[in-house]
Amino acid sequence: MLPPTPIRRLLLVPLVVVIACALAALTPAVALLTAAFNLISRRTRPERPRHSRLLRVTFLGLAWSAGETAALTVSLCLWLVSGFGGRLDTEPYQARNYAVIKWFLDLIYRAAGRACGLSVTVAGPPEASPCDDRPLIVLSRHAGPGDSLLLIHYLLSVCERRPRVVMKATLQLDPSMDILANRVPNAFLHPAKAKRAKAGEAGSRPNPGFRTGAAGSHHVDQIRRLAVGLDGGSALAIFPEGGNWTPHRWRRAIDRLRRGGRPDLAERAAAMPNVLPPHASGALAAIEACPAADVIFVAHTGLDRLVSVRDVWRGLRADMEIRARWWRVPAASVPRAVSREAQLTWLYDWWQRIDAWITAENSSPPPAQRPAEPVQPERGPAAQEPAAQAPSAPASAAPGPADHGGPRARPAAT
């Protein structure tokens, strides 16, 4: 349970400033020790990689805390000049708050590139760029530390969209997230309330493919309100898996589907080892609430094996390379006028495609060693006739995940 907002901010905002000052004093000493250690190891073990994990963590932490301190200072100034928050909901101040968020994420992205060797390669069909004027609903897999920040950074800096994000309420323990994200349209979901609601459903048998209960309905209402207000300059980002992928969560999700009486979905989830089975209610509610929105599916790999703190620490020995792929489904091809079960099958079809892409990427050589890919013309979604079949079948009653692919591209901003 989160502390009340005033207590949370009074305690955590000063803590960020203290951490920034401590890291500013510590970083020069760490840099000197690292230089001395590298000088010794260069003579004794010349083949050993010389990336200092401690220096990387210290530098990134300093950039984060210093940038957060600056962002919080600007946020305080905006709150004062807006009449103590009275005009923060107006368009000029919404634009300024998004500008602060963009500046902060750009800073962290550049710091991660310098400190950790972060590189991001994004592939997608150039004919269906997300940088046009249609509202977008972005459904992304969730795996690895910071993947959501990279997605929001891409939407803000490359696509020049104002993202509306569905995220866990516990992220408000970060002061910048707490203050800045609550000033623009976002939804913070409280999983504790969902657990209490599920515990009270003793006489009902929930469908594990959809969220049920009072808390689940409240979550769906929050997502629906965000989707209703979408326009050509915004994008709604949802992570239907509900949490970062881990092997334990994957096995637990399969068991939950089996216990909920959906062995068909459990079988499909077991065949997708790289992703968690998606929760459909929020994504489908957003699609229903904004009929004009195109749907973008996002897959990525490179961070998904960093499951524990130990994995992250080991991963800091090498540079971080992230590969991402997105597909766009035009609004006219999104299955809105079909049954809920057909929509659920359509969503699983796309998650199966994401899983297959991740498998192919993880088994392929690094991009520098790959042969050049021929440019393939984009193909539209293949329309399929409704058919009475089990939801686990690869074909669905709605348009499935047809290949909208194109040549790989590395946007200049990433």
The answer on 208 and 314 residing in a single domain is yes
The answer on 207 and 300 residing in a single domain is yes
How many domains does one find in the chain?
A: 2
Q: Which amino acid, one-letter code, is at 231?
A: D
- pLDDT at position 374 is 38
- pLDDT at position 393 is 34
Among 349, 278, 359, which residue's Cα sits nearest to residue 325? 359
Contact of 122 with 410, CB cutoff 8 Å:
yes
- pLDDT at position 67 is 97
Helix 263-270 with 247-259: angle, nearest 10 deg: 160
Does residue 308 form part of some domain?
yes
What residues form DSSP beta bridges with 325? 123, 299
Does residue 411 form part of some domain?
no
Which domain range does residue 108 map to? 1-117
Q: Which amino acid, one-letter code, is at 212?
A: T
Does residue 413 form part of some domain?
no
What is the four-CA torsion angle of 101, 229, 171, 5, rounded to 10 degrees?
A: 90
Does residue 377 form part of some domain?
no
Does residue 238 form part of some domain?
yes
pTM of the complete model: 0.83
The answer on 171 and 34 residing in a single domain is no
Does residue 278 form part of some domain?
yes
The answer on 183 and 108 residing in a single domain is no
| Sequence-separated (6 or more) residues with CB below 8 Å from residue 234 | 135, 136, 161, 162, 163, 164, 185
The answer on 110 and 132 residing in a single domain is no
- Token pair, residue 373, equals 């890919």
The answer on 355 and 278 residing in a single domain is yes
Alpha-carbon distances, residue 103 vs 41, 100, 156 (angstroms) = 38, 5, 10
- pLDDT at position 271 is 97
Q: Which amino acid, one-letter code, is at 307?
A: V
pLDDT per residue, tens digit, the chain (414 aa), is 789 999 999 999 999 999 999 999 999 999 999 888 878 877 776 665 557 889 999 999 999 999 999 999 999 999 999 999 999 999 999 999 999 999 999 999 999 999 999 999 999 876 566 767 899 999 999 998 899 999 999 999 999 999 999 999 999 999 999 999 999 999 999 875 545 444 443 334 455 555 545 557 889 999 999 999 999 999 999 999 999 999 999 999 999 999 999 999 999 999 999 999 999 999 999 999 999 999 999 999 999 888 888 999 888 888 999 999 999 999 999 999 999 999 999 999 999 999 999 999 998 765 555 554 433 333 333 333 333 333 333 333 344 454 444 333 444 333
The answer on 92 and 44 residing in a single domain is yes
The answer on 19 and 97 residing in a single domain is yes
Burial group, residue 292, by CB count within 10 angstroms (0-12, 13-18, 19+): exposed
The answer on 204 and 81 residing in a single domain is no
The answer on 158 and 87 residing in a single domain is no
The answer on 292 and 176 residing in a single domain is yes
The answer on 184 and 294 residing in a single domain is yes
Helix 91-116 with 53-81: angle, nearest 10 deg: 170
- pLDDT at position 39 is 80
Q: 57, 89, 117 — which closes off a domain?
A: 117
Among 401, 395, 361, which residue's Cα sits nearest to residue 381? 401
> Within a 10 A sphere around the Cβ of 243, how many other Cβ atoms?
14
Q: 74, 97, 117 — which closes off a domain?
A: 117
What CATH number corresponds to the domain at position 193?
Answer: 3.40.1130
Does residue 381 form part of some domain?
no
Q: For the chain, state the CA radius of gyration.
A: 23
| Sequence-separated (6 or more) residues with CB below 8 Å from residue 174 | 12, 68
| CA atoms of 326 and 322, how far apart (whole Å) | 13
Does residue 152 form part of some domain?
yes
- pLDDT at position 363 is 87
Q: 99, 117, 135 — which closes off a domain?
A: 117
